[in-house]
Amino acid sequence: MRQAPQPSQSQPIWGIYVHYPLCARRCGYCDFETVQLDDFPHQAYRERVEQEAAARVADYADAALETVYLGGGSPSLWPPEQIGQLLRGLARQAGADLGELEVTVEINPGDLDRGALARLRGEGVNRLSIGVQSLDDRALSTLTRTHDAARARRAYQDARAVGFANISCDLICGLPQQSAEHHRAQLEALVALEPEHLSVYGLTLAARSPLARAGYRPLDDDALAGQLEATTELLAMAGYEHYEVSNYARVGRQSRHNLLVWQGWPYLGLGASAHSMALRGSSALRVANPAYGAYRSASPQLDHDPVCVEGARVERSEGREAQLEVLMLGLRTRDGVSRARFRERFGQDPLEVFGPTLEQLARWGLLRAEASSITPTSRGLWFADEIALRLASA
Ligand code: SF4
């Protein structure tokens, strides 16, 4: 098992994110760009993604590919054979050995039976992120998920049975009127399954989501903060490290993909609505792909810097803005920001640029300036948004 990237790592690395936009139906709390189609063109979509990859991979040639992450939408609706063909193509284009990569697929319980999970494992996928969200049928029904608790447990057990040794489960807390005891019971039930990784999020109801329009409201901030604090305590006792604001892992089982993004390494986002980041010296180029309707007929623009598909939105951040992005992302993680890597990219130490604000945040007990890194305290991880706000207004 390769270890997660360290913040001070100097050998350049990168990751690939592939967005798969299809969902069986829209969950009531979600306003992501998703597609509901009975006749989604699985093969044509793969070919379109491969065409995009062929045009864009060269931008990342100076670094070593570490991870491939298939998210959505519901990539568990993409036939495993299509995923396998895509993975082999991406590894070949990137000059990487598929067996060396962390390859994650997000799955919804119930989309894949044991046979399909075995085929997915056989195609080179070695990590699953299962959208469990709750193990209580009433809560799942409020969230209008397509599965019940029994299906979630079966998906987890089937995945284990076919050889997945690295599984993450998502849990949503802060549900309307959810008690602290109910949340604790959900967490304990999930821990009893013994996943390597857990992501615990407070429910957010986007204004456009069906649940928000129906008058549902998540818990108030204080009650939610209580649930999140209880989460950290309970998971620490169960042997999970709180390594990012919403993420917990057994030793060495952090998400390598998400860590490299938070540590400021470049990533290539392929597919409809996918986001990318490429480096140009100390500047960052961010690319947002068009949604599915435009993406499926968009050709790569080879004379563009960076190469991207028609209709993509490109933004450049440089100078203080680029420095701020690195600090804000890095301070969401337990390991924080490496001062050496920051100096290497920007020619300045973070304390030279943001000294007074960082010192103030340290006095408030939210972070520590150590010789090699700037790291959040345990309390600072809870106040990552406040830290970001203070840095942005410095
Ligand atoms: S499965 Fe995920 S992406 Fe699809 S509608 Fe539900 S929450 Fe949104």
- Residues of the chain with pLDDT below 50 are none
pTM of the complete model beyond 0.85: yes
What is the pLDDT at residue 93?
Answer: 96
What is the pLDDT at residue 8?
Answer: 79
Residue 373 contacts residue 8 (beta carbons within 8 Å): yes
Q: With 0-12 CB in 10 A as exposed, 13-18 as middle and 19+ as buried, what is 393?
A: exposed
Task: Residue 256: name the closest of 142, 351, 335 by CA.
Answer: 335
Return the ∠ at Cα 200 (arms to 194 and 203), rounded to 5°.
Answer: 140
What is the position in ligand 1's atom list of the atom closest to the CA of 73?
3
Instruction: Return the residue whose CA atom lies nearest to atom 6 of ligand 1.
Output: 27
Q: For ligand 1, say whether the CB of 376 is within 6 Å of any of its atoms.
A: no
For residue 235, give both structure tokens: 């998971």
Q: Which of 22, 27, 112, 205 to mutate to test the pocket of ligand 1 (most atoms within 8 A of CB)?
A: 27
d(CA 212, CA 218): 9
d(CA 385, CA 57): 33
Instruction: Return the residue whose CA atom lies nearest to atom 3 of ligand 1.
Output: 73
Q: Which residues are CB-contacts of 343 (< 8 A; sequence separation ≥ 6)?
A: 349
What is the pLDDT at residue 314?
Answer: 97
d(CA 223, CA 246): 16
Q: For ligand 1, say whether the CB of 32 is within 6 Å of any of its atoms.
A: yes
Q: Which of 34, 130, 143 to mutate to test the pocket of ligand 1 (most atoms within 8 A of CB)?
A: 34
Given strand 127-133, what is the order of strands in its sheet?
A: 241-244, 247-249, 197-202, 167-173, 127-133, 102-107, 64-72, 13-20, 267-270, 275-280, 283-288, 313-317
What is the position in ligand 1's atom list of the atom closest to the CA of 25?
5
